[in-house]
Amino acid sequence: MLATARRQLPPDGTLPGQWVAEQKPDGFRAILFARPGLVMVQSRQGADLTSAFPDIAAAATGLVEALVLDGELVVPHEGRLHFGELQNRARRRGRSAVQAAAERPAYLIVFDVLEAAGTELLRRPYLERRAILENLFAREVLAAPFTLCPSTTDRATALDWLDPAWGTVGIEGIVVKGSQQLYLPGKRAWVKVRNGMKCAAPRLVSKRHRDSRT
């Protein structure tokens, strides 16, 4: 599922259900398949990135529940989400990839769950999928290198995340979703707003190959 770029926040009622905003990190969009007999990190274009990110693959292999997760691969470095270091990671394979994983660990910032415990969730509303995702983190089924993408229903907080200062730590803006939206693969049904709007100063930041950005 993709997003359409807009210059400003959409008004209430634009999307199905309640208005929800998530932080948009500067990384590679990725789908993680963690099923019995299958672990794969897949790019937005369908490329297999598993061998480039053995740290993420190893963590997925250790999960106690079968899951399909949607999120953003990132590499923190020098106090920010560093896209250049992420690109370097994506080019490595074999022993070089293992060494790079030790030197510059990657994280998957998860913002959606598409399958859990063998149940496909695409036809469930976003609010329900988000609750399932939050529960996975609360029960510590998901832990580092997986991290939950921050979200808010507060418009003032969303505007705060659009301050340009957030860009200095690797947050590009926000993605706005509707609480009752189904997951529609390939459809540009979310709204993306890049930071740069004038608003209050940011608070501390919480814990996609460039043509893969959404």
Residue with tokens 């993680």: 32
Contacts of residue 154, defined as CB under 8 A and 6 or more positions apart, other chains included, come to none
The answer to whether 24 is a known catalytic residue is: yes
**Distance of alpha carbon 105 from the chain centroid:** 16
Q: What strands, in cross-sheet order, belong to the sheet with 151-152? A: 2-6, 188-194, 171-178, 19-25, 151-152
Tell me, what DSSP letter sits at residue 169? G
Residue of 24, 192, 198, 207 marked catalytic: 24
β-bridge mates for residue 151, sequence order: 22
Structure tokens at 28: 């590679």
* 130 contacts 79 by C-beta, under 8 angstroms: no
Structure tokens at 157: 């907080």
Structure tokens at 67: 């899951």
Residue with tokens 């209050």: 200
> Which of the residues are catalytic?
24
